[in-house]
Amino acid sequence: MTNYSLKHLEELEAESIFVMREVFAQFDNPAILFSGGKDSIVVTHLARKAFFPAKIPFPLMHVDTGHNFPETIKFRDDLIKELGAQLIVGSVQDSIDDGRVEEETGFNASRNMLQTTTLLDTLEREKIDCALGGARRDEEKARAKERFLSHRDEFGQWDPKHQRPELWHLFNGRHSMGEHFRAFPISNWTEMDVWQYILKENIAIPSLYFAHERKVIRRNDTWIPYSEHINLKPEEEVVTKQIRFRTLGDITITGGDESDADTLEKIVQEVAAARTTERGNRSDDKRSESAMEDRKKEGYF
């Protein structure tokens, strides 16, 4: 007799596909927020599954800080070509040039905070009423309270205390003009689930996730990649290390770990044995105790 039960990755996949199809059915103009990181790559892969044999019915939207890893941009462009999808780029440099935001200065300067303005401007310009993101609830304590379908007011803000109750899998995407939603199809996935799924489905990911040699500097207890966007402190030294990245953000804020995990199998083993959270190396989350909550309230994803 057949065993009519799903394994955890199959159940998570089915749930995510359901969410994507609801987004497609309930909104006029959704888009996938694509960062080039593993989570948005998995979301894109799931979108492919959700609408097969049709093409992904959403454009991919990238908020380009200008501080990218070159590998990420190449990966993005190759994937777009393969999917035959439309790419929308929101440029932080344009926001700076237009005087919408001001560049941070100093050694810890990053464009992370500026992204929110560019993101919201781009959503408005493209009239996107639902932005699908790869955020997961296990990543961070404010994200642990997110809904699958998260309502944003006309300023793009998240109000965690007045979220719509989300029961069973009955999603309420009704909204007034000017408001939009964020949708998080992989809310219930953990970092481990994502890696296991990438391995199981053999999904292509940027080479940055695999151990490789790179010029780095030691800063805030992590290896920050050396690039033209980094202001070196006098005591800092550029060294070459074999590292890999557990998450990908801007090149200025993403720290790598020393690692020899150069295959997906080794990465899964490394993640299983990890003793720190994956965002532990992200200086954007370290600015204060509630850094993520504050950014989310302002419209960050």
Partner 1 sequence: MSYLDMELLRFTTAGSVDDGKSTLIGRLLYDSKSIFQDQIENIQAVSDKRGSEHLELGLLTDGLKDEREQGITIDVAYRYFATPKRKFIIADTPGHIQYTRNMVTGASTADVALILIDARNGVIEQTCRHSFIASLLRIPHLVVCVNKMDLVDYSEEQYNKVVEQYKEFAAKLNVHDIRFIPISALHGDNVVNNSEPMNWYKGGTLLHNLETIHIGSDENLIDCRFPVQTVIRPFSTEYHDYRGYAGTVAGGVFKPGDEVIVLPSGLTSKIKSIDTLNGPLNEAFPPMSVTMTLEDDIDVGRGDMISRVNNQPEVKQDIEVMLCWLNKKGPKPRAKYYVRHTTNEVRAIIKEVIYKVDINTLHRLEEDKEIGMNDISRVMLRTTKPLFCDPYSKNKITGSIILVDETTNETVAAGMIL
Which residues contribute to the site for partner 1 (CB under 8 A)? 2-15, 17-18, 21-22, 24-25, 48-55, 137-138, 141-142, 144-145, 160-161, 163-172, 174-176, 187-188, 190, 192-193, 196, 200, 272, 274-277, 280, 289-290, 293
Please state, in angstroms and rounded to a whole number, the distance separating the CA atoms of residues 189 and 180: 24
Please state, in angstroms and rounded to a whole number, the distance separating the CA atoms of residues 35 and 27: 22
Q: In terms of CB distance, is 47 or 208 closer to partner 1?
A: 47
Cα–Cα separations (whole angstroms), residue 288 to 85, 252, 291, 293, 294: 38, 18, 5, 10, 9
- Helical H runs in 142-241? 191-201
Minimum CB separation from partner 1 for residue 258, in Å?
A: 16
* DSSP character at residue 156: -
Peptide bond before 57: cis, by omega within 30 degrees of 0?
A: no
Minimum CB separation from partner 1 for residue 177, in Å?
A: 11
Residue 19: HSE in the Cβ half-sphere, 13 Å Cα cutoff: 29
The encoded tokens of residue 114 equal 């500026």
Question: Hey, what amino acid is at 137?
Answer: R
Q: In terms of CB distance, is 40 or 196 closer to partner 1?
A: 196
| 64-80 b/e (C-beta count within 10 Å ≥ 16 → b) | bbebbbebbeebbeebb
Q: What are phi and psi of 167, to 5 degrees?
A: -110, 150
The encoded tokens of residue 168 equal 């069973």
The encoded tokens of residue 261 equal 């995990």
- The count of other CB atoms within 10 Å of the CB of residue 269 is 13
Q: In terms of CB distance, is 62 or 246 closer to partner 1?
A: 246
Q: In terms of CB distance, is 7 or 102 closer to partner 1?
A: 7
